[in-house]
Amino acid sequence: MKLIFERSIEGYETDWIGQSEVPPCELPEELSRTKKLNLPTVSQNELSRHYTELANATFGVNDGFYPLGSCTMKYNPKINDEVANFSGFRDIHPLQPVDSIQGCLETYVLAEKWFSEINGMDGFTFQPGAGAHGELTALLMMKAYHKKNGDSHRNKIIIPDSAHGTNPASAAMAGFEIVNVVSDEYGCVDLAALKNAVGEDTAGLMLTNPNTIGIFDKNILEITEIIHQAGGLNYYDGANLNAIMGVVRPGDMGFDVVHLNIHKTFSTPHGGGGPGLGPVGCKDLLKEFLPDFYPVETKEGVEFSTPANSIGTVKGFYGHFSILTRALTYVLFLGSEGISSASKTAVLHANYLLNGLKDKFEVPYGERCMHEFVLSLDKLKKETGVSALDMAKGLLDHRMHPPTMYFPLIVPEALMLEPTETESKKTMDEALQIYRDLHELAYRDGESFHDFPKTTIIGRVDEVTAARSPKIRYEFSEEV
Ligand SMILES: *Cc1c(COP(=O)(O)O)cnc(C)c1O
């Protein structure tokens, strides 16, 4: 498809942008442009077609089955968007006096109550812009906690080998050293290895539960106890909360701090790096370190405060407010019964899919799963030459989004499926049939997979070149 710059025709203008109500002001000379801005000029109709074409070239949950493991691609109810679009929420400015945005600030207070209740925490910040950003925020709070207690020598964070790549990355960014612990044969944390890893220098543990293989760690209470005994803090990567919300709470499992991925569990749009929301909840012992712009209720109304030993601001102003309004709408709409029913249904659906595939595909860990599971195509690849990537490309021709590939790293030729609670049995049955047909095709004609996909706008891409030298900027033929 053509880029908007390639559609541009000199002399065409779109004059439908209204007159500004704000009087124009002159820019100082040194700030003015010396060259003309290289903007495309197209007619209104062309512009509209361009965006429609772009929209048609993408794939979302409204287009088809999207079981992307670890990402919780559930349906986003449209009422969330309607509420976020209320004028009182939408037409505000971050520099407005707080007494004129009390309704918005109440949103934070209400959200803090609900999310604290769901997670067994005592307070929440809604500043971080995504899960990984929440991880960094929480780690900085843990660091500040140890520093205040005169324990700055606690500089090591323990992370299991099944962790999401963002965990070690965030710990390194926060200035910690990383200690890896291995998984046992059930895909859970190896307790002996954990006991060996803790010591005087342990700052804490980062754990995803259920973990990336879709298994709830049966030793969870023992794990958090080992860390507490060693003087460390327990951090819960809550990206998989969709498996447990309304059923068990990180706070009750012995965790001191947690991040959530609102754009996963709480039904708000995922973005290319944002705008997501990665709130961080903590127990009382860490509240004094929460970021700035912490809303508190006073007699006069809600105000922003800076916690006593705050780590400072981690995002401009209050974070992605309109994402929070969507998430809170979702939570209030479901209520406590709906929340637990959502996670129970998500677990049921994942087990339904797993059960329909396990006679054909290898399942390295467990016969049962939480809200997602991992298949290994290692044997299939050895016997037929069809890899996890080939299988994923084959699925594209059935208007179905492939599962997550090659993650977690501890499973060779991994495919990770997460159907979510919002899919119907019919959709899952169709998907099962397609997976089983492709499996059969692999043994009959494995070669044919190397040409897939055949029906998409873009066919088989050169993955290596795409990853190593991506073209991410339009090159103008001449500077104007
Ligand atoms: C998605 C995910 C993250 C990172 O969250 P982002 O919002 O993508 O930054 C961290 N941990 C786990 C287990 C995840 O699945």
Cα within 13 Å of Cα(350), Cβ side: 32
Average pLDDT over residues 275-287: 95
Predicted local distance difference test score (pLDDT) of residue 38: 82
> Distance between CA 300 and CA 427 in Å, rounded?
52
Strands (E), 182-223: 202-208
Predicted local distance difference test score (pLDDT) of residue 274: 59
| Count of beta carbons in the 10 Å neighbourhood of residue 67 | 26
Which range (404-408, 409-413, 417-421, 470-474) has the least confidence? Answer: 470-474
The minimum-distance atom of ligand 1 relative to the CA of 134 is 9
Q: Which domain holds residue 222?
A: 78-333
Is 70 close to ligand 1, i.e. is its CB under 6 Å away? yes
* SS3 state of residue 463: helix
In a domain, 69, yes or no: no
Is 128 close to ligand 1, i.e. is its CB under 6 Å away? no
Is 159 close to ligand 1, i.e. is its CB under 6 Å away? no
Tell me the pLDDT tens digit for each residue of 298-310.
999 999 999 999 9
The minimum-distance atom of ligand 1 relative to the CA of 263 is 7
Same domain, 250 and 349: no
Tell me the pLDDT tens digit for each residue of 50-87.
999 998 888 889 899 999 999 999 999 999 999 999 99
DSSP states of 251-289: GGGT-SEEEE-HHHHT-----SS-S----EEE-HHHHTT
User: pLDDT confidence of 13, banded at 50, 70, 90?
Assistant: confident
Is 276 close to ligand 1, i.e. is its CB under 6 Å away? yes
Q: How far is the CA of 5 from the centre of ligand 1 (A)?
A: 35
CB 125 within 8 A of CB 294: yes
Q: How far is the CA of 260 from the centre of ligand 1 (A)?
A: 9
> Distance between CA 190 and CA 182 in Å, rounded?
6
Is 164 close to ligand 1, i.e. is its CB under 6 Å away? yes
| Residue 403 scores a pLDDT above 70 | yes
CB 352 within 8 A of CB 425: yes
> Distance between CA 46 and CA 29 in Å, rounded?
35
Same domain, 329 and 341: no
**Strand-pair category, 373-376 with 294-298:** unpaired
> Distance between CA 294 and CA 296 in Å, rounded?
6
Tell me the pLDDT tens digit for each residue of 334-348.
999 999 999 999 999
| The two structure tokens encoding residue 426 | 């019919």
| The two structure tokens encoding residue 50 | 């361009």
Predicted local distance difference test score (pLDDT) of residue 22: 86
Q: Which of 304, 333, 362 is the last residue of a domain?
A: 333
**Residue from 52, 33, 115, 64 nearest 402 by CA:** 64
Structural domain count, the chain: 3
Predicted local distance difference test score (pLDDT) of residue 426: 97
DSSP states of 375-443: EE-HHHHHHHS--HHHHHHHHHTTT----EES-STTSTTEEEE---TTS-HHHHHHHHHHHHHHHHHHH
Q: Which of 333, 360, 393 is the last residue of a domain?
A: 333
- 202 versus 399: the higher-pLDDT residue is 202
- CA 393-397-398 angle, 5° bins: 115
Average pLDDT over residues 390-409: 94
Same domain, 89 and 206: yes
Best probe residue, ligand 1, of 133, 136, 164 (max atoms within 8 Å of C-beta):
164
Same domain, 89 and 235: yes
Residue at 283: amino acid letter: K
Average pLDDT over residues 292-303: 94
| Residue 177 scores a pLDDT above 80 | yes
Is 237 close to ligand 1, i.e. is its CB under 6 Å away? yes
Atom 7 in ligand 1: residue holding the nearest Cα:
131
pTM of the model: 0.92
The minimum-distance atom of ligand 1 relative to the CA of 70 is 15
* SS3 state of residue 79: helix
| Residue whose pair of structure tokens reads 């397609």 in the numeric block | 434
Same domain, 294 and 184: yes
Same domain, 258 and 284: yes
Q: Which of 28-42, 438-452, 463-477 has the highest mean pLDDT?
A: 438-452
Is 278 close to ligand 1, i.e. is its CB under 6 Å away? yes
Same domain, 103 and 9: no
Is 208 close to ligand 1, i.e. is its CB under 6 Å away? yes
Atom 8 in ligand 1: residue holding the nearest Cα:
131
Predicted local distance difference test score (pLDDT) of residue 478: 62
Helix, strand, coil share of the chain (percent; to 5): 40, 10, 45
Q: Which of 299, 333, 367 is the last residue of a domain?
A: 333
Strand 177-181: give its sheet, edge to edge.
Answer: 123-125, 280-282, 257-260, 233-238, 202-208, 156-160, 177-181
Q: How far is the CA of 166 from the centre of ligand 1 (A)?
A: 7
Best probe residue, ligand 1, of 237, 270, 418 (max atoms within 8 Å of C-beta):
237
Q: How far is the CA of 25 from the centre of ligand 1 (A)?
A: 44
Report the percent of the chain where pLDDT is more than 90: 78
